[in-house]
Amino acid sequence: MTTHVAVRPAFEDLIDLWAPVRQLGTGFQFTEGPIWHPKEEFLLFSDMPGDVRRRWDRTGIREVMRPANKCNGMTYDGDLNLIVCEHATSTLVRERPDGRREVLASHVDGRELNSPNDVVVKSDGAIYFSDPWYGRMPVYGVERPRQLGFQGVYRIAPGGGPPHLLVDRYLFEQPNGLCFSPDEKWLYVNDTVQQLIRAFEVLPNGTLGAGHVFASGIASPSEPGVPDGMKCDARGNIWVCGPGGVWVYAPGGDLIGKVRVPELVGNLTWGGPDFRTLFLTATHSLYAVETRVGPRAEPYLV
């Protein structure tokens, strides 16, 4: 029996079916938000219930921030500033290397955001993020009333400014992971509750055109796992957390394979010296598996 599952033969071009999934550390509460620093070669990841941010490199794992405002998704902008989704404060922030902290988004229409969850940066510097309300639930955030009556997806213009709602406010129940296609013509956003991925055309002004369901039925009656973190590889395939590990979809929307992981996976990112190591934040542990493909050219990689 192979380690991973090839639904279509093309999956073996992306990963060796026997590639071992290595456990790099364990004993955490719920890991999330992995991001690899391309120059200093270390991985940051968050633990929301533990309210701590940790760093992994070849010397091991250590804490770098506690408390961490129950941070979730993280990425870098083109200048290698860290962009962080904070559950406890319901804000999206930019952390500069010198320690300065800048709030990028906190309110929409005079009301607090629910809890920014995951974030991606476009090549022009615009920032897109999802805003479900997991950060207002016990354990994953700070329990408190919601001020918005919907869960949206937003864009912050390259020069900054207030967040702009990109989708119909009732389209998503809990929008979560999001990623661009390699050419940035499409933005993919998944919904944890609806168990699907939607694809939206990215218009010249950065807003989104009509969307359609790209993949649905990301669920299993026998294995735990839901759509959560999501990344696009250099060939346009979509890697999304799902039951049993990570489900991989071809650019056309066909499921082509599954990466098997011992624990429920919350998020993923590529890193390592050649960006062929897929790091997986999976509940209580951090894992890594080698792949035959790397990520799309994110702005912080260029």
**pLDDT digit string, tens, across residues 147-168:** 999 999 999 999 999 999 999 9
Answer yes or no: is pLDDT of 297 > 70: yes
Answer yes or no: is pLDDT of 2 > 70: no
* Other Cβ atoms closer than 10 A to 183: 10
Percent of the chain with pLDDT over 70: 99
Residues 240/227, Cβ–Cβ less than 8 Å: yes
- Integer Cα distance of 195 and 172 in angstroms: 11
Q: How many domains does the chain have?
A: 1
pLDDT tens, position by position, 221-268:
999 999 999 999 999 999 999 999 999 999 999 999 999 999 999 999
Percent of the chain with pLDDT over 90: 98
Mean model confidence pLDDT for the chain = 97
Pairing between β-strand 245-249 and β-strand 255-260 as defined by DSSP bridges:
antiparallel
Rounded to 10 degrees, the C-alpha dihedral 205/250/199/211 comes to: 110
CATH code where residue 22 lies: 2.120.10.30
The CA-atom distances, in angstroms, between 271 and each of 82, 95, 185, 191 are 16, 20, 24, 25
Among candidate residues 105, 197, 86, 215, the one with its CA nearest the CA of residue 160:
105
- Integer Cα distance of 120 and 122 in angstroms: 7
Q: Which residues have CB under 8 Å from 183's CB, separation 6+?
A: none
- The number of angstroms, rounded, from the C-alpha of 162 to the middle of its chain's C-alpha atoms is 22
Q: Rounded to the nearest 5 degrees, what angle is found at the Cα of 187, between the Cα atoms of 277 and 85?
A: 65
Q: Tell me the pLDDT band of 198, cut-offs 50, 70 and 90.
A: very high
Answer yes or no: is pLDDT of 185 > 80: yes
pLDDT tens, position by position, 54-69:
999 999 999 999 999 9
- Integer Cα distance of 168 and 52 in angstroms: 34
Q: Tell me the pLDDT band of 302, cut-offs 50, 70 and 90.
A: confident
- The number of angstroms, rounded, from the C-alpha of 66 to the middle of its chain's C-alpha atoms is 21
What token pair was written down for 116? 């920014």
Answer yes or no: is pLDDT of 172 > 90: yes
Answer yes or no: is pLDDT of 26 > 70: yes
Q: Which domain holds residue 93?
A: 5-301
Mean local confidence (pLDDT), 164-189: 98
